[in-house]
Amino acid sequence: MKRPMERHKVTTFRLQELPASPGMPLRLALAGSLDVDGAPILMEKLREVLKRGSKRVDLDFGGVTFVSSLGIGTLIAAIGEYREVQGDIVLGGLSQDILTVFQMLDLLDFVTLRS
Amino acid sequence: MILLERIDFEAESAAFRIASGGLEQAGADFERVAAEAHHNGLRCVHLRLPGGEESRTMHAAPAAPGGALAVQAAGNRQALQLVCGRPRYEIEVAHAEASLRQLSTYIGVVLATHGPASHDLTHLRLVLYELAANVLEHGRPLGTDAALQLGLLLGEHHIEGWLQDQCRPFDPFTAALSPIVDPVLHRRRRGYGLHIVRYFLTSFGHEYNGTGNRLTFSKEISA
């Protein structure tokens, strides 16, 4: 067998709030698996950020190796809560593997991808 | 020469009864038995002996490309086992939602350390996670000590496996799916795992074997 590719590494979910830049959305760097364990952590953080008044959040998926259907459902729910108050969640750094799942679930026109 | 009679068949294994002859003949003739197993696309053949044959083990050099071959007889279990095929990984966990993390970690580690290098493994890991999550969250166990078993056979271009639960009948491959509706915000928050499962697998099957649901699946792996 060949050696595994880097992105198959198994990691638990991690979340880090990055220092804010003036005039830019608050940025959260995500890493690991966004699954049944990671999804509630992300939802709690996004609600906390919204309560603090940040209506736009940039989620950096650069370190995310795995997103389950529950993780996707959580993202949809969170985006809905932000848009209800005229805010939004921007997704960046999504791997092609994750984008394929988003495409399959017909979500590419729904989510806002960082350009 | 022994005469084998197939008495049971599953996706990755079959059981044969020795209709004539005995263990000595089986040992001497195992190459023919192995060739027959490969010809039938089998990974594992169990030869159940009719009487109290003595326990013994026989090994042989690989008889097929990429396949290890061993003929084993376990007299106390009245069974002779011929294994030929790809590396096989199995795990059993308790039927509890908390087992999902253990199972997910096992799947991730096995695929990462023993699977071929392919982006398809990311989607296979997702499929296995969703299948297991579906069983552990929604399955209705038949007893208090129910378990869930996962098996994987890894090849360079093809991976197959099975998931065996101890629950009431449920076929995730034919069950109604949560509709993917527009607008997205009108969708249910959960229930899309089975969309993912059916989309990314090459083939899948379900049978209820009396003790639970047995799901079999395969996925072709691209380079």
Over pLDDT 70: what percentage of chain B? 60
> pLDDT-derived band of residue B133, with 50, 70 and 90 as boundaries?
very high
pLDDT digits (tens, 9 = 90+) for B151-210: 988 877 889 999 999 999 999 988 888 888 777 887 777 778 999 999 999 999 999 988
Mutation for testing the A interface, residue in B185, B186, B199, B221 having most A CBs under 10 Å: B185
Cβ atoms A37, A16 nearer than 8 A: no
- On the 0-12 / 13-18 / 19+ scale of CB atoms within 10 A, A68 is buried
- CA atoms of B180 and A110, how far apart (whole Å): 12
Residues of B in contact with A65 (CB under 8 A): 122
Give the chain B residue nearest A99 (alpha carbons): B123
CB-based contact B104 A33, cutoff 8 Å: yes
Of B48 and B137, the one with more pLDDT: B137
Cβ atoms A94, A62 nearer than 8 A: no
CB-based contact B122 A76, cutoff 8 Å: no
What pTM does this model have? 0.73
Beta strand pairing call for B3-9 and B13-20: antiparallel
Q: DSSP string of A22-64?
A: TTS-EEEEEEEEESTTHHHHHHHHHHHHHHTT--EEEEEEEEE
CB-based contact B199 A1, cutoff 8 Å: no
Q: What's chain B's average pLDDT?
A: 72
> pLDDT-derived band of residue B71, with 50, 70 and 90 as boundaries?
very low
- CA atoms of A87 and A79, how far apart (whole Å): 8
Mean of the pLDDT values across residues B39-66? 40
CB-based contact B156 A36, cutoff 8 Å: no
In which residue ranges of chain A is pLDDT below 50? Answer: 1-9
